[in-house]
Structure 1
Amino acid sequence: MSATAVTRATRALLTQHNLPTGTSLEDRVTWRLHRWGCLGRTQHPVGPYRLDYAWPAVRIAVEVDGPHRWQPDIGIKDVARDAYLRSHGSLVLRIDDGTGSIEEQLCRVVVVIKSELNRGAA
């Protein structure tokens, strides 16, 4: 199956389940978080920023970085966003399309999210 076909299939699944869509990378992340039972809020506003994914109750933000991340102005904005979020007590996790397996990164992110959600529920 081609990358375009996978993107279309993922988008169709999200639409079928009334889940939000975004970039093709965000769509893949949204679907997996949903399937693994830990999809937080998407495009969640915090101060002057809009987060890709957020779990406000446990102050976790997840940002998904595609190829645009390597543009200098985007990188500078990401650093400022991360500093703002951390200064307000949030843990910022990043999934980066250019630094290894998305699946492995997602697994690590999900472990942290579920651990914090379980700790918050205790």
Structure 2
Amino acid sequence: MATVVVATQLKRVTECGAEVWANLGVAVGATLFVILLAAAVYNQWMTLDAIQADLGRQKDKLKKEYVQVANQFSAVYDRLDRRVAKHRAILLAVLALCAVGLALTWFIFWHLTSILPTACLQPSQ
């Protein structure tokens, strides 16, 4: 969805002007968005690591200290393990979609912007 929004904001550019900088701003903004989203995904991943480690400790403690009732809770821990795994899969899918979207953003940028933005830094003659 964001790639469609970005693609509609980019304009064809053949000479220096405000459109070059607008296109660059849109592409850089999309890049920053992906970087920040990747940081949020990383944070979620680390949170899942902590949750999974805690679940493992609890499960081990249950098996050692409460042997007689431990089997009653195995299904609960299995569901929680699957939930963590699903969440990880979703996070990976989000990152993959962001990577594809970002690649498309820059592809569209370079397809529509036929001059290098640095060429527009030269003073006018």
The TM-score normalised by the length of structure 1 is 0.30
The TM-score normalised by the length of structure 2 is 0.29
Identify, as 1 or 2, the structure richer in helix. Answer: 2
Identify, as 1 or 2, the structure richer in strand. Answer: 1
Larger radius of gyration: 2
